[in-house]
Structure 1
Amino acid sequence: MTSASYIFLAGASRGVGREVAKYLTAQNLKVKALLRTEAAAAELEASGIQVALGDALNVGDVERAILADEPIHAVISTIGGLPADGERADFLGNKNLIDAAVKAGVQKFILVTSIGTGNSANALPPQALETLRFVLIEKDKAEKHLIASGLTYTIIRPGGLKSEPATGNGILTEYPRIAGTIHRADVAQLVVRSLNSDRTNNKVLSAVDKNMMYGQAEFTEFTLD
């Protein structure tokens, strides 16, 4: 990564994306964030983040942000919707980001989805799967689009998310049937560490807190170093 290039972050206004923004700026990395509204802009700009206003669901907005003058080294997307939301960004927003990243020649794309997506569906109980069904379908389409794009990718599927401070016990695994919870700040740590780990290239990984897993699944922890 050159000193002139940026990390492009979609989803920085809240949740995991907001935590990712904190870790990136703490490492003095140059960050450009796509925001749908100005609500979080002042706070992000105060931390040194360049803000591009635009909606991930609008192709023109996304291309203007990613294909601007500043070279983008990597894209991180944590965008998604709640089950009650209308048109969600889980697939269409991420598709626009992925397509623009291909045009920009981005080196790596990290997509945060959810346990329950794709081959991790069996990790969740049937009731949870049914509740999240429409969201998971959209996230699955986004994962498949990224894998087919030709970009170097890392897909991270966190378990149930909590907003407490990081525990430092977040782990990744390629085992798709693991389930549990994890703090958003710990997911963000794993995302930022994955950014500079070639071991995560073209991997689909589940993320949980090793002390908050459901059941006693036999699995191998994925090492980033």
Structure 2
Amino acid sequence: MTTASYIFLAGASRGVGREIAKCLIAQQQKVKALLRTEATRDELEAMGVEVVLGDALNSEDVESAMQGVPIDAVISTVGGLPQVSERADYLGNKNLIDAAVKAKVRSFILISSIGSGDSVVALNPQALETLRTVLIEKEKAEKHLIDSGLTYTIIRPGGLKSEAATGNGILTQDPRIAGIINRADVAQLVCRCLNSDKANNQVLSAIDKNMLFGQIEFEEFSLD
């Protein structure tokens, strides 16, 4: 990765996206973040993030946002709240993926969710019913990324908590795994994937090894 290249981050205003921004800046990466509103602009710029305003649901906004600087990789955590009718989970990510293809970026990391795709087997029926609409959209985004020709990493976190990183976040290819993970630990795993060729073209579940649901034996995915 050249020093002039940027990581383009969508979803940096809150949650996992904000934690990823912190992690990237700590690694002295150049970060360009797409924000829908001005609300968190000052905070991100104070961290050293270059901010561009635009809506992921608008393809022209996204394409424009990726211009101006060389972008090495795109990371997306965008999604909508369950009560929002027009969700970014598919359309927003589709726009980001399509723009990344046009910008000829090296790789794309998509933050999805346990329960999407073949990991549907990890959820109990009640959780599945609650999240069904969201998961359908996330699965469509995953498929669009896989079919795009980009080098991809899809990370499906379990239930998310906003606490300090434990350092116990792990990845696995096993779609049966469910559990909890802190957002800061997801961010650490994302930053490690960014710098590991082993993560290329992988679909991985992310959980805290001390916050698993059930006693399923599984193999941890190594990035080393």
**Common fold by TM > 0.5:** yes
Q: Deviations over 1:6-52 (max 9, x none)?
A: 00000000000000000000111100000000000001001111001
| Aligned residue identity for 1:149 | S
TM-score, normalised via structure 2 length: 0.99
Residue in 1 aligned with 2:6? 6
Q: Which runs of 4+ in 1 moved over 6 A?
A: none
Unaligned ranges ≥5, structure 1? none
Is residue 183 from structure 1 mapped to residue 182 from structure 2 by the alignment? yes
Q: Which residue of 2 aligns with 1:23?
A: 23
The CA deviation at 1:69 is 1.9
Which deviations, in whole Å up to 9, do the C-alpha atoms of 1:176-202 show, x marking residues without a partner?
000000000000000010001000000
Equivalents in 2 of 1:131, 1:139: separation in Å?
Answer: 14
**1:10 maps to amino acid:** A
RMSD of aligned residue pairs (Cα, Å): 0.5
Which amino acid in 2 is paired with 1:64?
S
- Shift of residue 5 of structure 1? 0.7
Whole-Å Cα distance in 2 between the matches of residues 48 and 65 of structure 1?
A: 17
Q: Give the partner amino acid of 1:142.
A: A
Counterpart of 2:96, as a letter, is: L
Matching of residue 97 in structure 1 with residue 96 in structure 2: yes
Query: Residue in 2 aligned with 1:119?
Result: 118
* Amino acid paired to 1:56: A
Q: Is structure 2 residue 132 aligned with structure 1 residue 133?
A: yes
3-state secondary structure, aligned to 2:7: strand
Aligned residue identity for 1:114: S
Distance 1:69 1:111 in 2: 23
CA deviation after TM superposition for structure 1 residue 218, in Å: 1.1
C-alpha separation between the residues in 2 aligned to 1:170 and 1:85? 30
Determine the structure 2 residue equivalent to 1:149: 148
- The question of 1:73 aligning with 2:86 is answered no
Q: Percent identity at matched positions?
A: 75
Unaligned ranges ≥5, structure 2: none
Alignment of 1:85 onto 2:94: no
Q: Which amino acid aligns with 1:169?
A: N
Equivalences, count? 224
Matched, 1:213 2:212: yes
